[in-house]
């Protein structure tokens, strides 16, 4: 019996009285499932940080949406507000349509749409760079080209072009009379366009940090976090601009 137990200790099984055998002993894996080294915990922590950042982004997007919806309600109220003239029996309104530079606005929209595509490429590239970083350090393995910051820089330049085009569009609308006294609709047009530009400028700051910030330059994990947050925020700003453009077109 002792010999059987000793043999079972070496061979991984033990013989019971009567000829039965216990299942072979298997080595216990370290807790955490990462196979040692804490890699599993690190990946879990990175995923948890991504979820927290995205949750914060959801709250930010919700607050921006509530602000725009509120302004749209006021804008619509101005559009359909007026009074009934009993003398002429006509419903009169103080609404003055705003002449919009549609061609320039569409060109700006195309630049923003292309930047959204590049930001998405940058976000996915940053994710792959963080995943493949351990593989790139293996001798004989060709390192993956790191293009996340290249795509992000190109998107940042297109965002700058979009904002410059918006400034020109606002100047043209002012020439068309959008900011004249006694024309609240014109002022609301400039307010909607300006609010979107301010929020997009915040996205450009976040995207610039993801490109040249010290943390994202030194750590692939931080770069992934920065690119992911800036990328999703940029997509939200793209959707917000489409909403603003649709409201302006319908109200005019």
pLDDT (tens digit per residue) in 152-161? 999 999 999 9
pLDDT (tens digit per residue) in 160-196? 999 999 999 988 887 776 665 556 777 788 888 999 9
Range with the poorest average pLDDT among 27-36, 53-62, 207-216? 27-36
Tokens 């910051």 belong to: 149
Question: CB-based contacts of 109: which residues, under 8 Å, 6+ apart?
Answer: 241, 242, 245
Q: Are 152 and 211 in contact (CB under 8 A)?
A: yes
Work out the number of other CB atoms within 10 angstroms of the CB of residue 144: 14
Q: What is the mean pLDDT of residues 51-67?
A: 88
Domains and CATH numbers, the chain: 103-252 (1.20.120.80)
């Amino acid at each position: 019996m002792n010999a059987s137990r000793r043999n079972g200790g070496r061979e991984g099984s033990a013989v019971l009285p009567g000829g039965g055998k216990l299942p072979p002993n298997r080595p216990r894996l370290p807790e955490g499932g990462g196979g040692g080294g804490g890699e599993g915990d690190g990946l879990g922590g990175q995923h948890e940080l991504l979820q927290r950042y995205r949750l914060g982004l959801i709250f930010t997007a919700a607050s921006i949406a509530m602000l725009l919806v509120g302004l749209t309600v006021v804008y619509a109220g101005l559009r359909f507000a007026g009074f009934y003239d009993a003398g002429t029996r006509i419903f009169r309104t103080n609404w003055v349509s705003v002449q919009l530079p549609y061609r320039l606005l569409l060109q700006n929209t195309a630049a923003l749409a292309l930047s959204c595509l590049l930001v998405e490429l940058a976000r996915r590239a940053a994710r792959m760079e963080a995943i493949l970083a351990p593989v790139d350090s293996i001798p004989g393995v060709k390192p993956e080209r790191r293009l996340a910051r290249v795509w992000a820089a190109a998107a940042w330049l297109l965002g700058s072009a979009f904002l410059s085009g918006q400034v020109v569009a606002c100047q043209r609308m002012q020439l068309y009379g959008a900011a004249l006294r006694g024309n609240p609709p014109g002022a609301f047009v400039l307010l909607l366009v300006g609010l979107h530009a301010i929020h997009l400028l915040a996205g450009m700051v976040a995207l610039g940090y993801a490109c040249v910030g010290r943390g994202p330059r030194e750590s692939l994990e931080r770069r992934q976090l920065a690119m992911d947050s800036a990328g999703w925020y940029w997509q939200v700003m793209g959707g917000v601009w489409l909403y603003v453009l649709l409201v302006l077109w319908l109200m005019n």
